[in-house]
């Protein structure tokens, strides 16, 4: 992605998110964070959260088309990222075995796990372009996820 002001995104997230010790705020904050990311990231068609619950990932707040609601930890880019606790930057989802297609327009995907105070899961971002997320984008979005983890 080109010309993304990642510092601005982080400052907007900090400004918009309420920080309190209330679990309800997690959902509120995740909803606004997905809206901020959807507004500022380029060439994306889906951005949102999957939340770890009952040994599954469950769909959380997002922007984009209707998506699958439950992902087992051995399935999909999301399940594998959370299970291995590693970022998965997939330049071509069709070359990733076990990829779960929620939106046929998705061609590349970046999934970053997070472990916050009240909640853990993954941030999932899909792009309608192949290879949309450079290593630099990945590092910057990992920084955003660190900020998110300190808020949720």
46 three-state secondary structure? strand
Nearer to ligand SME, 89 or 106 (CB): 106
Contact between 77 and ligand SME per CB under 6 A: yes
Shortest approach of ligand SME to residue 40 CB, angstroms? Answer: 19
**H/E stretch holding 138:** helix 135-151
Q: What are phi and psi of 127, to 5 degrees?
A: -125, 150
Contact between 82 and ligand SME per CB under 6 A: no
The closest residue (CB) to ligand SME is 76
DSSP assignment of 21-39, as one string? S-HHHHHHHHHHHHHHHHH
17 three-state secondary structure? coil
Q: Is-contact 130 106, C-beta < 8 A? A: no
Contact between 67 and ligand SME per CB under 6 A: yes
Site string for ligand SME, 118-147 (x = CB under 6 A): ------x-x---------------------
From the list 2-10, 15-23, 32-40, 70-78, the region that binds ligand SME by CB under 6 A is 70-78
């Amino acid at each position: 992605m080109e010309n993304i002001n990642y510092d601005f995104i982080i400052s907007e997230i900090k400004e918009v998110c309420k920080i309190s010790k209330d679990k309800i705020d997690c959902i509120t904050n995740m909803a606004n964070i997905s809206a901020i990311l959807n507004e500022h990231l380029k060439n994306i068609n889906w951005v949102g959260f999957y939340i770890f619950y009952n040994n599954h990932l469950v769909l959380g707040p997002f922007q984009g088309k209707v998506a699958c609601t439950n992902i087992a930890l051995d399935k999909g880019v999301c399940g594998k990222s959370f299970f291995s606790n590693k970022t998965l930057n997939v330049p071509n989802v069709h070359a990733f075995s076990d990829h779960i297609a929620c939106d046929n327009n998705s061609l590349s995907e970046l999934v970053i796990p997070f472990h916050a105070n009240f909640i853990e899961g993954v941030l999932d971002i899909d792009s309608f372009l192949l290879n949309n997320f450079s290593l630099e984008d990945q590092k910057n979005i990992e920084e955003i996820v660190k900020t998110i983890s300190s808020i949720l």
